[in-house]
Amino acid sequence: MTYDEYNAFCRSLPATTYVVQWNNSHVWKVGGKVFAIGGLGTVDDPAFTFKTSDLNFVFLSEHAGYRSAPYFATRGMKWIQQYESSTETDEALMYYLKESHRIVSLGLTKTKLRELGLNPK
């Protein structure tokens, strides 16, 4: 997945905002909270970082092409970085980005969810 494809996918998720920060990374937020970061890789070999469930964190940490996200995971947060991309992993990445968006959304207040037009579940 290219950074353009990554940005287009994240843009398609509900109530997202985009900012360039942290060394020119493509940062996506929902309700002001980060759910995905595209960056810290080269243009030819992009890297994508996202929040995961505890189970997915363990699962992905043990698979080639994924690692505990630098800076985030060392602080005890369950964030993974995908640093190898292929057609197969692109489909998985879209799933994990969507899940990250959902997990971060669940941490928002009910008021914020209503403001964003998201249904608290």
**Residue range 35-83, pLDDT digits in tens:** 999 986 555 678 999 999 999 999 999 999 999 988 776 666 899 999 8
Identify the structural domains of the chain with CATH numbers, from first to last: 3-109 (3.90.1150.30)
| Strand arrangement of the beta sheet that strand 48-51 belongs to | 16-21, 25-30, 33-38, 48-51, 79-82, 66-68
pLDDT tens, residue by residue, 72-86: 766 668 999 998 877
pLDDT in tens, 80-116: 999 887 777 889 999 999 999 999 999 999 999 999 9
